[in-house]
Amino acid sequence: MAQPVLITGVAGFLGSHLADDLLGRGYSVRGIDNMIDGFKENIPDGVEFHELDCRDALGHPDLFADVAMVFHCAAAPYEGLSVFSPFLVHEHTTSATVAMLSAAVRAGVGRFVHCSSMSRYGALVPPFTEDLTPAPLTPYGIAKYAADLQVRAIADVHGMEYNIAVPHNIIGTRQRYDDPYRNVAAIMINRVLRGKQPIIYGDGSQTRCFSFVSDVVSCLTRLGTEPDIRGEIVNVGPDEGEVTVLDLSREICSIAGLDFDPVFMPARPLEVHHATCSSDKARRLLGYRTEVALRDGLTEMVEWVAKVGPKEFHYNLELEIVNELTPRTWSSRLM
Ligand SMILES: NC(=O)c1ccc[n+]([C@@H]2O[C@H](COP(=O)([O-])OP(=O)(O)OC[C@H]3O[C@@H](n4cnc5c(N)ncnc54)[C@H](O)[C@@H]3O)[C@@H](O)[C@H]2O)c1
């Protein structure tokens, strides 16, 4: 019987899709999640689930018994919010990663795959390539890059294999859409399906690339399972189909059949204006191809949110800092 794999953040968006993929390939999957953002219904049947905070991993050696690889998807992936809740984001991003690394090394895990973020590149000149020296701007980007460095240092010295995936903005089913602090496309879809206009911070000329979740999962799986791919940092996602946030919101309104008349709010502090990555390395190393085009991915997501039902926004996380820089959508709960 194949050795089990362990996925952190398995009740979240990416972790649950990765679990589906690995189960489908015949792996036995253990998963943990502390449920700060996850949903039990996301966890695929067949996953051996443990409700646990990654920061407590060292106290649970049984979880790591015989584990061949860890896919570390848990984090507090809140770039904008991290400016106002830096401690929360640091704890669930950097501290959680270090605890998982320590427990994995102690248990003799073979390989650790870390989900980083393109926020590690900050405001460098796009398209970002993996050889750039990261220059994150936000507490989230700094937390992710710190976690990347910890992966490299701890894994290297103790002889554990590792790979680091650097996804861009991901969309797809199971993504949280009632969270007012992150997931721009999901927030817009939830609002539009409730008959409300998309909210744009700044003038909407910020540029991004979006990946559909299945295109990211296939790369993560290869980073875990390909024996000859080790010690790599790989941007994961498209480098074509770049859109402005304004065009994204127009597209969502068009798919959902709502007239387009967005609400503009002041720009958010430290938001990077142009953030796109090169996919050359992913194409070369992982055979990356964009299988799902943006409009098709958005359409699938709109249909899914419509089926599950649009929701009130849920302000579930604490704002540690509230001042004149805090977006009013958050401090006054305007969503
Ligand atoms: N979604 C994106 O657009 C995107 C883009 C780039 C990188 N990423 C990275 O991909 C990973 C997955 O993101 P996602 O979109 O699936 O987020 P998500 O919030 O849907 O999933 C993360 C899960 O981790 C859990 N979690 C958080 N802190 C934890 C802790 N301390 N211990 C145990 N569980 C914990 C949450 O409850 C949640 O279920 C993250 O590392 C994120 O930074 C995501």
Tens of pLDDT, residues 22-71: 999 999 999 999 999 999 999 999 999 999 999 999 999 999 999 999 99
Helix axis angle, 184-193 relative to 245-256, nearest 10°? 30
Distance 34 CA to ligand 1 centre (A): 11
| Amino acid letter for position 122 | G
Contact 39, 17 (CB under 8 A): no
- Nearest CA residue ID for atom 34, ligand 1: 33
- Position 3 scores a pLDDT of 82
Q: What is the pLDDT of residues 47-61, one digit of tens each?
A: 999 999 999 999 999
Distance 75 CA to ligand 1 centre (A): 4
- For the stretch 18-27, contacts whose Cβ atoms lie closer than 8 Å and that sit 24 or more positions apart, written own/partner, are 18/71, 18/73, 18/217, 18/220, 18/221, 19/43, 19/44, 19/47, 20/44, 20/217, 21/217, 21/218, 21/221, 22/221, 23/47, 25/221, 25/225, 26/2, 27/2
Distance 73 CA to ligand 1 centre (A): 5
Q: What is the pLDDT of residues 171-214, one digit of tens each?
A: 999 999 999 999 999 999 999 999 999 999 999 999 999 999 99
Tokens, residue 145: 């890059």
- Nearest CA residue ID for atom 1, ligand 1: 170
Q: DSSP letter string over 101-154?
A: HHHHHHHT-SEEEEE--GGGGTTSPSSB-TTSPP---SHHHHHHHHHHHHHHHH
Give the CA radius of gyration of the chain: 19
- Position 1 scores a pLDDT of 60
3-class secondary-structure state, position 216: helix
Tokens, residue 215: 């295109």
- Position 289 scores a pLDDT of 95
Distance 97 CA to ligand 1 centre (A): 12
Q: Please give the number of the atom of ligand 1 that sits closest to the Cα of 52.
A: 33
- Nearest CA residue ID for atom 12, ligand 1: 73
Least confident of 1-5, 96-100, 278-282: 1-5
- Nearest CA residue ID for atom 42, ligand 1: 77
Contact 255, 100 (CB under 8 A): no
Q: 5-171+211-236 — its CATH code? A: 3.40.50.720
Distance 77 CA to ligand 1 centre (A): 6
Q: What is the pLDDT of residues 84-140, one digit of tens each?
A: 999 999 999 999 999 999 999 999 999 999 999 999 999 999 999 999 999 999 999
Question: Where do we find the tokens 């994961």?
Answer: 236
For the cut 80, the answer to whether the pLDDT of residue 2 exceeds it is no
Mutation probe of ligand 1 site: the residue of 73, 94, 214, 294 with most atoms within 8 A of C-beta:
73
Distance 151 CA to ligand 1 centre (A): 17
Any idea which architecture 184-208+240-313 has in CATH?
Answer: Alpha-Beta Complex (3.90)
Distance 37 CA to ligand 1 centre (A): 8
The domain locations on the chain are: 5-171+211-236, 184-208+240-313
Report residue 307's pLDDT band, with 50, 70 and 90 as the boundaries.
very high
**Kind and range of the H or E element at 18?**
helix 13-24
CA–CA distance, 206 with 19 (Å, rounded to integer): 33
Residues framing ligand 1 (Cβ under 6 A): 8-9, 11-15, 32-38, 53-55, 73-77, 92, 96, 115, 117, 167, 169-170, 176
Residue 309, Ramachandran bin (φ over 0: left; ψ between -120 and 50: alpha; else beta): left
Residue 154: alpha-carbon gap to chain centroid: 22
Q: Which residues does residue 72 pair with via DSSP β-bridges, in sequence order?
A: 8, 114
Q: In what order do the strands lie in the sheet with 48-51?
A: 48-51, 29-33, 5-8, 69-72, 111-115, 161-167, 232-236
Q: Are strands 243-244 and 169-171 parallel, antiparallel or unpaired?
A: unpaired
Is the peptide bond preceding residue 127 cis, with omega within 30 degrees of 0?
yes
CA–CA distance, 12 with 15 (Å, rounded to integer): 6
- Position 76 scores a pLDDT of 98
Distance 96 CA to ligand 1 centre (A): 11
Q: Please give the number of the atom of ligand 1 that sits closest to the Cα of 72.
A: 41
What's this model's pTM, rounded to 2 decimal places?
0.97
